[in-house]
Chain A
Amino acid sequence: MPCSDYDPASLPDLLPLYYRRLFPFSQYYRWLNYGGVQKNYFQNREFSFTLKDDIYVRYQSFTTQNELEKEMQKMNPYKIDIGAIYSHRPNQHNTVKSGTFQALEKELVFDIDMTDYDDVRSCCSAADICSKCWTLMTIAIRILDRALREDFGFQHLLWVYSGRRGVHCWVCDEAARKLSVAARSAVAEYLSLVKGGEETVKKVMLTEPIHPFIRESLVVVERYFPRYALQDQDILGRKESVDKVLALVPEDVRKDLQQDFQNEKKPETRWKLVKDQASKKQATAKKFQHFEKEIMLQYCYPRLDVNVSKGVNHLLKSPFSVHPKTGRISVPINLKELDTFDPFAVPTISLICEELDRPRPGEEEEKSEETKEKENEKDAAERWKIRDYKRTSLAKYVKHFDQFLDGMARAWKGELLRKSDLQKEF
């Protein structure tokens, strides 16, 4: 498969094709219009484009799907960001009195970036990822998805691969979109366990009693820890990484473990020694001791960029935007297939553009269909676009997006019914 053949220099040639024939505009509009339940919801949404040479254009807004389509096909943005729904149309923000132009609503978003795990992964660093450390994203999604659904009661969660080294979550429930800044930051802090910067060694501190949320999260971590941390990352193998782990246990325990490790090289057994020490400590010490749990969490627990979640007006890269460096499309992730999700198998813009040119069985048949419909050209063009993405590896991701939208449509249908009922009463 030629998917790795993406060359950043080809982006300016590929983007027009992508926006003309592949970008799923109708689904995209269907999402951001939210069934038209609230007036001007789509019109007042901020989009921002990054153009060639890092030219950044903020406060774009569009009245219709058609306008959005035309503009994107004209500008061919390298990157698309989605912002808040404002009190006025963002493209007119200069014309309203200062202070009255305000961000009112936005999806509750989460941004998890692999660079934030650099101190606990040995396979790669910075922008690089591999299948080993990708497990961290899997764990993050499992933990956060459960908590957002079960604890906070949200239902419409869209998980998206960022295109390079991380994932985003868009919580699209109406209640989530209406959250205040204070509420967003409270949710983000509830979900944050790993605290501290470069000057902090021990970044997870548990206190008694362990909150049900942490217990649930530990269940997830425990499932992945042996394979991910002990085998793939080999955190109890090399001396330096062992020292890093031992820096997280109390001093007396550290000495014992250093001794024990002299005679025991196998990571799984070493980990068992750590756990044994922990349970010994828990039985005797008066002070609350759960360092084995704290180690697991420090190595595996999701690290959120809290500032992204807090602000209503914070921008986040849009789904189906292209990552300019990797060429990969930012695609929704189907959680049913999460454990087999492979970021390297996500289609690049060059791959799907190439797939468009490939001949396909049944091609002739469609062509004759097309000639029949020539009188209604606009309609035909629309249909073509739908068929176009279906011929590429993008299809399954768009299909998943459709399913997500269907779920939300059921919710806003209920809302519309309720509204019309109310109107009848008066």
Chain B
Amino acid sequence: MQFISRQKKLGPHSQTEIYGQLVQFYGQPPLENISLSEFETFAVERLKLLKSVENLGVSYVKLSEQYNNKLHHELKNLNFPYKSETEDRKSQTGPSEHEKRRKDHISHFILRLAYCQTEDLRRWFIQQEVDLFRYRFTDLPPEQKLELLQKNNLQYHAISAEEKKALSGKLVHSSYGGSGIKVEDQDFYKVPFQDALDLVRARKVYLKAGYVYIPQQDIVTIVLNDFRTRLSKALALTARSLPAVHSDERLQPLLNHLSHAYVGQDYSIQKNVGKISLEQIDSLSGKSFPLCMRQLHQNLRENHHLRHGGRMQYGLFLKGIGLSLEQALQFWRSEFIRGKVDADKFDKAYAYSIRHMFGKEGKRTDYTPYSCMKVILSNPPSQGDHHGCPFRHSDPELLKQKLQFYKVSPSGISQILELVKGMHYQLACQKYFELTHNIEDTTFSLNHPNQYFIESQKVLGGGKDIKRETDTPQRSQENSGRGSTAAREAAAAAANAPQHLAEITEDLDSFFQDA
């Protein structure tokens, strides 16, 4: 394995160098021997950490106080480094700071192996690692920030006082409002806009002739950008050396399981293909579809058309609940030809993309239904679109009207709107589920429109409908009552050294279904 083979080349003192700081750029791979059990524990715990980072990022505004507190808590619980050394010395229990930093380091590299394989995995991993890094970097005291930047050769040059004066009017109007820091008191750094994309995207920086002028307080963006670029390159390199790692039969199954864990259940396995008839869809859409799909269905029936984003979101959902390719083609055709599209045009322009969804065209990937996260975060609806998450992408006033129309009680509506206001879109949807299914507390944590459907069918159909569903979600039901307990058990199991691998990975599966 690569960790071992390189060990002899470098002296052991390079390690203390690496662990000298709380936050790392992960420039050096770990060079020591580690036991298989440690390998597993580290990997599982980092994955749990990254899962938390992802979940917190959806539920809270990043870097808000709540977000920071929760993430801080999470780091502490999972024994990852989280505060400056001095603070840690006070507490005598638990692993030492050095051990935590070592774990941080090694676990990051293990997950690189698991997450370098596909574009999707890389994107997810980079996103979570970047968010984690952002939190930790922001949390550092200023002098440590500077030290970190210096050690990693990241130095920026501030613009001159004259230049600053000439631009001051523009600079004032370009950075965060109400921060109270005056332009005169602050250094500004001029860098190419490509190095600060997050600030450009959000229009939080002054941009002129291809250069951005970044105030000292926002320097983290360039650092993050750099971190992201390095990580992305490193993953591409790791992917190339992967065959060597995969030849190790001890690691390969574990790595595969780790990488499958991030999406949770993907609802693409169709054991119930063809069990749903097209006539059922109208009534199912009222009873068991989440609001996003109900909205798409309704608009499709009304306008006999959906734009691309809507067709993808709704089409894959329908595939997930069990429509066969033939049914899907029939469903879309019969609706579209009632509108402006004739049968010939449908076959030429739309049938392809439906077959594509089912993996019958193009690169023949069997596409998986969109998760809540994907619906909420990617490809927001624009003019003419009906897709997206109604809790995220509707005006509160319209959402309210819609909920009233669907006969949700006034108190229920205000509860939902409160959750929406706090940006808890998935919780709002879950509340909607509870209200429309007349149950007090749902025992699952909603993260997928198809999960909503399955759970709804369970509630409504009693035993009858459940049998139709896939096996795995059923298992998640068994586990769901003890959600976090299962997680802890999985972690504990992984921590116990000579556990059989199959058991560990199975526990992992159940953990990530609940997560």
Inter-subunit contact B173/A211 (CB<8 Å): yes
Cβ of B252 under 8 Å from chain A: no
Contacts A54-B348, A198-B386, A199-B394 known; A207 to B177 CB distance under 8 Å?
A: yes
Cβ of A340 under 8 Å from chain B: no
Chain A residues with CB under 8 A of B92: none
Give Cα distance in the complex from A277 to B234, angstroms: 56
Among B56-64, B197-205, B353-361, the stretch that binds chain A is B197-205
Inter-subunit contact A196/B397 (CB<8 Å): no
Among A83-91, A147-155, A323-331, the stretch that binds chain B is A147-155
Inter-subunit contact A185/B201 (CB<8 Å): yes
Inter-subunit contact A211/B174 (CB<8 Å): yes
Inter-subunit contact B397/A201 (CB<8 Å): yes
Shortest distance between the CB of A111 and any CB in chain B (Å):
12
Cβ of B478 under 8 Å from chain A: no
Cβ of B398 under 8 Å from chain A: yes
Cβ of B393 under 8 Å from chain A: yes
Shortest distance between the CB of B370 and any CB in chain A (Å):
16
Give Cα distance in the complex from A322 to B159, angstroms: 50
Shortest distance between the CB of B429 and any CB in chain A (Å):
15
Cβ of B2 under 8 Å from chain A: no
Shortest distance between the CB of A226 and any CB in chain B (Å):
24
Cβ of A394 under 8 Å from chain B: no
Chain A residues with CB under 8 A of B395: 196, 199-202
Question: Taking beta carbons and an 8 Å cutoff, which residues of A are in contact with B?
Answer: 53-54, 115-119, 150-154, 175, 179-180, 182-183, 185-187, 189-190, 194-202, 207-215, 303, 305-307
Contacts A197-B393, A199-B381 known; A211 to B194 CB distance under 8 Å?
A: no
Give Cα distance in the complex from A202 to B200, angstroms: 23
Chain A residues with CB under 8 A of B197: 182-183, 186
As a 0/1 sequence over residues 390 to 410 of chain B, the CB contacts with chain A under 8 angstroms (1 = contact) are: 100111011100000000000
Inter-subunit contact B348/A153 (CB<8 Å): no
Shortest distance between the CB of A4 and any CB in chain B (Å):
24
As a 0/1 sequence over residues 363 to 393 of chain B, the CB contacts with chain A under 8 angstroms (1 = contact) are: 0000000000000000111111111101001
Inter-subunit contact B382/A303 (CB<8 Å): yes
Contacts A150-B209, A186-B197 known; A199 to B177 CB distance under 8 Å?
A: no
Chain A residues with CB under 8 A of B140: none
| Chain B residue at smallest Cβ distance from A180 | B194
Give Cα distance in the complex from A189 to B387, angstroms: 19
Chain A residues with CB under 8 A of B299: 198
Chain A residues with CB under 8 A of B137: none
Contacts A197-B383, A201-B397 known; A209 to B177 CB distance under 8 Å?
A: yes
As a 0/1 sequence over residues 157 to 181 of chain B, the CB contacts with chain A under 8 angstroms (1 = contact) are: 0000000000000101110011000
Chain B residues with CB under 8 A of A208: 177-178
| Chain B residue at smallest Cβ distance from A182 | B197
Give Cα distance in the complex from A54 to B347, angstroms: 11
| Chain B residue at smallest Cβ distance from A176 | B210
Inter-subunit contact A196/B382 (CB<8 Å): yes
Shortest distance between the CB of A159 and any CB in chain B (Å):
20
Cβ of B207 under 8 Å from chain A: yes
Cβ of B453 under 8 Å from chain A: no
Shortest distance between the CB of B13 and any CB in chain A (Å):
38
Cβ of B432 under 8 Å from chain A: no
Chain B residues with CB under 8 A of A154: 210
Chain B residues with CB under 8 A of A197: 380-388, 393
Shortest distance between the CB of B326 and any CB in chain A (Å):
23
Cβ of B426 under 8 Å from chain A: no
| Chain A residue at smallest Cβ distance from B171 | A212
Chain A residues with CB under 8 A of B394: 199-200
Shortest distance between the CB of A121 and any CB in chain B (Å):
11
Inter-subunit contact B177/A54 (CB<8 Å): no
Shortest distance between the CB of B268 and any CB in chain A (Å):
22
Shortest distance between the CB of A248 and any CB in chain B (Å):
11
Cβ of B349 under 8 Å from chain A: yes
| Chain B residue at smallest Cβ distance from A179 | B194
Give Cα distance in the complex from A207 to B348, angstroms: 45
Contacts A198-B386, A200-B398, A212-B173 known; A152 to B381 CB distance under 8 Å?
A: no
Interface centre among A190, A198, A209 (most CB of B within 10 A): A198
Give Cα distance in the complex from A116 to B381, angstroms: 12
30 contacts between A and B (CB under 8 A): A54-B348, A54-B349, A119-B383, A150-B208, A152-B210, A153-B208, A190-B200, A190-B203, A194-B382, A195-B382, A196-B380, A196-B382, A197-B382, A197-B386, A197-B387, A197-B393, A199-B395, A200-B393, A201-B398, A207-B177, A208-B178, A209-B172, A209-B173, A211-B174, A212-B170, A212-B206, A213-B207, A215-B173, A303-B382, A307-B379
Chain A residues with CB under 8 A of B203: 190, 211, 213-214
Chain B residues with CB under 8 A of A115: 383-384
The B77-136 residues at the A interface (CB cut-off 8 A) are none
Contacts A190-B207, A196-B393, A210-B173 known; A152 to B388 CB distance under 8 Å?
A: no
Give Cα distance in the complex from A198 to B210, angstroms: 34
Inter-subunit contact A116/B383 (CB<8 Å): yes
Chain A residues with CB under 8 A of B393: 196-197, 199-200
User: Which 5 residue pairs across A and B have the least CB separation, nearest first?
Assistant: A197-B381, A153-B210, A197-B385, A153-B209, A199-B394
Cβ of B39 under 8 Å from chain A: no
Give Cα distance in the complex from A209 to B173, angstroms: 5
Cβ of B193 under 8 Å from chain A: yes
The B237-254 residues at the A interface (CB cut-off 8 A) are none
Interface centre among A115, A119, A195, A197 (most CB of B within 10 A): A197
The B312-366 residues at the A interface (CB cut-off 8 A) are 348-349
Inter-subunit contact A195/B349 (CB<8 Å): no
| Chain B residue at smallest Cβ distance from A183 | B194
Cβ of B295 under 8 Å from chain A: yes
